[in-house]
């Protein structure tokens, strides 16, 4: 298993994986987003490799605004994590998360956070299994004016 920080050459593959997870976006939109993050000091993308190809990624960033359940700032934040279905349950996601946590520590963070949708039981189970503690549950509302 190889876990490494992504560079510009990884962006197309990461965007293609991300569109599977975030299907309300296009690969082009995600490509632009990851291009900004890879060149940023306040975010990072890590890639998991197997069989000489990318099979997963994790995106983390620094959040300076309030993060539910935390008391410090900035907070390292897991924005997204994805492993191709055929490579799941082999430790890739946990290894990606550990790289994000190490990155956040190097950026001066003493806390790390994440979130998932209320109905995403797979993500909830992952978070609880890798040491996260549930901080809060919310339902968000919108209204057209």
**89-139 pLDDT per residue, tens:** 999 999 999 999 999 999 999 999 999 999 999 999 999 999 999 998 888
d(C-alpha 125, C-alpha 119), whole Å: 11
pLDDT of residue 143: 83
pTM: 0.92
Is 62 within 8 Å of 75 (Cβ atoms)?
A: yes
Residues 60 and 106: their CA atoms lie apart, in Å, by 13
Residue 138: the pLDDT is: 85
d(CA 91, CA 141): 35
Cα torsion 36, 84, 135, 100: sign: negative
User: Which tokens in the block code for residue 81?
Assistant: 């994590």
> Which pLDDT tens digit goes with each residue over 19-57?
999 999 999 999 999 999 998 999 999 999 999 999 999
**DSSP state at residue 142:** -
């Amino acid at each position: 298993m190889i876990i490494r920080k992504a560079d510009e050459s990884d962006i197309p593959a990461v965007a293609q994986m991300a569109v599977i997870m975030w299907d309300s976006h296009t690969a082009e939109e995600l490509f632009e987003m990851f291009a900004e993050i890879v060149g940023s000091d306040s975010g990072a993308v890590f890639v998991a490799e197997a069989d000489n190809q990318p099979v997963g990624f994790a995106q983390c960033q620094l959040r300076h605004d309030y993060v539910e359940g935390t008391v410090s700032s900035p907070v390292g934040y897991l924005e997204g994590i994805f492993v191709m279905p055929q490579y799941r349950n082999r430790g890739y996601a946990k290894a990606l998360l550990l790289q994000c946590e190490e990155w956040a520590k190097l950026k001066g963070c003493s806390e790390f956070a994440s979130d998932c949708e209320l109905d995403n039981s797979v993500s909830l189970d992952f978070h609880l299994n890798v040491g996260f503690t549930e901080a809060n549950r919310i339902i968000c509302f919108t209204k057209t004016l």
